[in-house]
Amino acid sequence: AKPMPQKKVLKSRDLSGLADYIASDKCNNIVLMLGAGVSTSAGIPDFRSPETGLYANLARLRLPYPEAVFEINFFRENPEPFYTLAHELYPGKFRPTVTHSFIRLLAANGLLHTCFTQNIDTLERRAGVPDDKIIEAHGSFASQRCIDCQQPYDDAKMKRKILAKETPRCETPKCGGLVKPDIVFFGESLPDEFIRAIPNVAKADLLIIMGTSLTVHPFAGLAERAPLACPRVLVNLDVVGSIGRRPNDLVLLGKCDEVVRALCEKLGWGEELEALWAKT
């Protein structure tokens, strides 16, 4: 395989080229792939950043290994670590970022085809991205159910339990099973909604991948489904996955909020972006 390109720092001409393409009539169906890196500036740690990542900071939960916190079999044995984390991550405490407002702006300009996200923080929805454009591939805290009898559990009661640091249990007579938010744990299958949306990537005329290490499949595999004619843009602190190998790939290294602001300046969307974010 070709050697990976040297780390490209954010160059103005790269941004101008991208802005010109987005503004052209050739770009109408943008598909996004988001990871935890788009929410770090909201105060939600990502998973694998060396110092600040969640997996580097779960030691206090005495897990056999970090990912166990999201493993269904471990959860059955010991739901404590997950619920400790759920209390810290629970939606409602965090404000969407300017990157989330950029996604709403893409939709407002009729350019957003599908926003695939791995994040469970529901910040896309809270930023005003149209629901029908969002595919939460790893589920979210939006709903919950018993892992034994599958009985849905009341939303308000769940919120109270999590904020009170109590472990919710199924109230179906003779069940008493553990209740878990509809977040996709390792070992669980991804939502049908994700599976059905996979073909959307083939319709993209621009794929923008932001804030993800592209380490978790099948989500990461979406990037390989972009048509060869579709430019793939990586906006990330470091080069990840195989983005950079295709001749029309573009790697924009940097903080996503900074790249988004610089791109919106080139698009002439700067003021609109800030105004939108200010009221989020």
Give the tokens for residue 24. 């052209």
Least CB distance to ligand APR at residue 246 (A): 19
| CB atoms inside a 10 Å sphere around CB 222 | 24
Contact 155, 198 (CB under 8 A): no
212 assigned ligand-binding residue: yes
73 assigned ligand-binding residue: no
Which residue in the set 8, 17, 21, 49 belongs to the binding site for ligand APR (CB under 6 A)?
A: 49
46 touches ligand APR (CB under 6 A): yes
Is the CB of 170 or the CB of 233 nearer to ligand APR? 233
122 touches ligand APR (CB under 6 A): no
Least CB distance to ligand APR at residue 39 (A): 8
Least CB distance to ligand APR at residue 262 (A): 13
Contact 223, 242 (CB under 8 A): yes
Which residue in the set 213, 234, 243, 261 belongs to the binding site for ligand APR (CB under 6 A)?
A: 213
Which residue in the set 91, 211, 231, 244 belongs to the binding site for ligand APR (CB under 6 A)?
A: 211
Question: What single letter denotes the amino acid at residue 180?
Answer: K
Instruction: Characterize the bridge pairing of strands 232-236 and 250-253.
Output: parallel
82 touches ligand APR (CB under 6 A): no
Instruction: Characterize the bridge pairing of strands 134-136 and 139-146.
Output: unpaired
37 touches ligand APR (CB under 6 A): yes
Question: Rounded to whole angstroms, how far apart are CA atoms 34 and 117?
Answer: 5
* Residue-wise DSSP of 46-110: -SS-TTTSGGGS-GGG--SSGGGGGBHHHHHH--HHHHHHHHHH-TTSS---HHHHHHHHHHHTT
Annotated catalytic, 100?
A: no
Residues 215-244 that bind ligand APR (CB under 6 A): 215-216, 236-238, 240
Give the tokens for residue 160. 């109270």
Number of residues forming the site for ligand APR (CB under 6 A) = 23
Q: What residues contact residue 131 under an 8 Å CB cut-off, 6+ apart?
A: 125
108 touches ligand APR (CB under 6 A): no
Helix (H) or strand (E) holding 256: helix 256-267
The Cα-based distances of 135 to 12, 50, 120, 191 in angstroms read 31, 28, 11, 9
Which residue in the set 145, 159, 225, 255 belongs to the binding site for ligand APR (CB under 6 A)?
A: 255
Which residue in the set 101, 118, 122, 144 belongs to the binding site for ligand APR (CB under 6 A)?
A: 118
Nearest to 106, CA basis, from 28, 223, 40:
28
Site residues for ligand APR per CB under 6 A: 35-37, 40-41, 46-49, 53, 118, 138, 211-213, 215-216, 236-238, 240, 255-256
Annotated binding residues for Zn(2+), as ranges?
146, 149, 170, 175
Known catalytic residues are 138
Feature table: binding site for NAD(+): 36-40, 46-48, 118-121, 212-213, 236-238, 256
